[in-house]
Structure 1
Amino acid sequence: MNDAISPSRYQLAEIGALLAEPARAAMLLALIDGTMRPAGELARVAGVGAATGSAHLKRLLEGGLLAVHEQGRHRYYRLANDDVAALIEALALPRTRPVLPDPSGGDRPLRMARTCYRHLAGLLGVGLCDALLQRGFVQAASEGMRLHDEGAQALVAAGLDAVRVEALLPLAGRGCLDWTERRLHLGGPLGVSLTEVMLDAGWLRRRSGSRALQPSDDGLRRLIALGVPWESRH
């Protein structure tokens, strides 16, 4: 996918053909959390054999949806960039707003908070994006969303490391359409790095075997202090 060139109808049709195969779609969804995975693992996720999996991965590489990292004799696959992740999330958007199931439902943690190509998504991600924009901590610029000095000071006052927060200032973010909330969360390099800082600070915790995230009690208090809406019934 080339940002400098608008896709032709033939390129768009090729992307559609790549996504229309369930095995390839499963591989892409497995990588939407920003991880890198070997071919064998992706083949198992897709429910296909090694040879078929390799053929699917080759198609995805040639189509520009995947990139590969070589380390010695090993090859690890990842999504080509966050534009691909945004495309996958947008295509997964339901036609109508989903009805939240019983709290014991398996998709509740994903709707509450999850990673979308390494940045915070879900109800918590949308709430954080809303709070940062409404308070003027993050503002839209020609090159994307930028963290302002006042926003950096607020993040440090809330408990994040000052050096790590200062490193966020040059980074550009982007609005990413959230597939469960149908509103924007903060993506791009700024969104990814801010999520990493919150994870390292213990505000968020990863759930084993899932891209769902769990806010710690302390982290939730600090996020609420920043203006993130959150009620106990969530």
Structure 2
Amino acid sequence: MTSTAPVSLAALAALLADGTRATFCLALLDGRAWSAGELARHAGVAASTASEHLSQLVGGGLLAEERQGRHRYVRLAGPRVAQLIEDMAAHAGLEAGARPATLRAASAARALAQARTCYDHLAGRLGVTITDALTARGLLRQDTGFALSDAGLSWFSTELGARLPGGGRRPLARPCLDWTERRHHLAGTAGAVLCATALERGWVDRIGSGRALRLTRAGQQALAHLLGLTDLTVRPAP
């Protein structure tokens, strides 16, 4: 009996083999829902072209859609899809060796490398630095895979003041390979809670409508207090 796995794998690869569809998926790694029009403008394609590509991605299970009146919004179908896209980006070495064509592109690339969202957790140099600090303080263990220690669980509730939801199929902590740093940053439920807390408390600001983040003065002070990170640079507002 012939396995259907190679056919399914080929179908998935075909979905991401198109540059426009890949651009959509990378944009949606910011964890938010985008309208079809926003994605069309981001990729520089016609609305009708964007609609056709989005239908394929939704049909293939990579995106989920919501409709509000005449507007169509899409987001990545879940954390597993986000992990797949980020892992593929890391494997492909996106941004690593390419020289930006313009000064604006170079500035955007630097901002992404400094700090960004990876679906719903922190990535880039900031995400890796925080992960290293959690590990150095014994709050996160990396010797047998990623796992919060008892001290780490306590740190989230007492020091960070954030609740870690229990249950569910998503792991509490897992490694995610950072495609700019080529090292792991913290993902999973704990990574999502940490990112949401940073955004809610104004420790990081979004730069424009993309994934890039800017560490604020409040964030610099909070991370110095919570993790002893005293050498983080606050980027000027664009």
TM-score, length of structure 1 as denominator length: 0.79
TM-fit CA distance, 1:153:
4.6
1:130 to 129, 132, 152: 132
Worse-matched range after superposition: 91-100 or 202-211: 91-100
Query: Quick one: distance in 2 between partners of 1:169 and 1:65?
Result: 25
Query: Quick one: distance in 2 between partners of 1:27 and 1:84?
Result: 13
The 1:221/1:152 distance shift into structure 2, 3 A limit, reads farther
The 1:56/1:232 distance shift into structure 2, 3 A limit, reads closer
Once superposed, what is the RMSD of the aligned Cα atoms?
3.3
Asked if the contact 2:31–2:75 (Cα under 8 Å) also holds between the matched residues in 1, the reply is yes
1:119 alignment partner in structure 2: 121
2:172 alignment partner in structure 1: 172
Partner SS for 2:176: strand
TM-fit CA distance, 1:99:
9.1
The 1:18/1:205 distance shift into structure 2, 3 A limit, reads same
Worse-matched range after superposition: 75-84 or 36-45: 36-45
Structure 1: 5+ residue runs without aligned partners? 1-5
Query: Quick one: distance in 2 between partners of 1:43 and 1:99?
Result: 24
Q: Letter of the 2:186 partner, please give it.
A: L
1:198 alignment partner in structure 2: 198
Query: Quick one: distance in 1 between partners of 2:134 and 2:213?
Result: 20
1:78 to 75, 79, 85: 75
2:65 alignment partner in structure 1: 68
Say if 2:6 is the partner of 1:9: yes
Q: Letter of the 1:88 partner, please give it.
A: I
Partner SS for 2:66: strand
Asked if the contact 2:121–2:191 (Cα under 8 Å) also holds between the matched residues in 1, the reply is yes
Asked if the contact 2:66–2:74 (Cα under 8 Å) also holds between the matched residues in 1, the reply is yes
TM-score, length of structure 2 as denominator length: 0.78
Partner SS for 1:32: helix
1:151 alignment partner in structure 2: 152
Q: How many aligned residue pairs are there?
A: 222
Structure 2: 5+ residue runs without aligned partners? none
Give 1 or 2: higher helix fraction: 2
Asked if the contact 1:33–1:211 (Cα under 8 Å) also holds between the matched residues in 2, the reply is yes
1:35 alignment partner in structure 2: 32
Partner SS for 2:51: helix
Deviations 1:104-151 (A, max 9, x none): 941111111111102100011011112212322134699x85544523
Q: Letter of the 1:188 partner, please give it.
A: G
Query: Quick one: distance in 2 between partners of 1:218 and 1:49?
Result: 41
Query: Quick one: distance in 1 between partners of 2:132 and 2:230?
Result: 9
Say if 2:94 is the partner of 1:92: no
TM-fit CA distance, 1:203:
1.9
Asked if the contact 2:95–2:180 (Cα under 8 Å) also holds between the matched residues in 1, the reply is no
Query: Quick one: distance in 1 between partners of 2:112 and 2:17?
Result: 24
The sequence identity of aligned pairs, in percent, is 45
Deviating beyond 3 angstroms after TM superposition, the runs of 4 or more aligned structure 1 residues are: 70-74, 95-101, 139-142, 144-149, 152-158, 227-234
TM-fit CA distance, 1:61:
1.1
Asked if the contact 2:217–2:234 (Cα under 8 Å) also holds between the matched residues in 1, the reply is no
Query: Quick one: distance in 2 between partners of 1:141 and 1:83?
Result: 23
Worse-matched range after superposition: 129-138 or 26-35: 129-138
Q: Letter of the 1:150 partner, please give it.
A: A
Query: Quick one: distance in 2 between partners of 1:116 and 1:223?
Result: 19
The 1:132/1:99 distance shift into structure 2, 3 A limit, reads farther
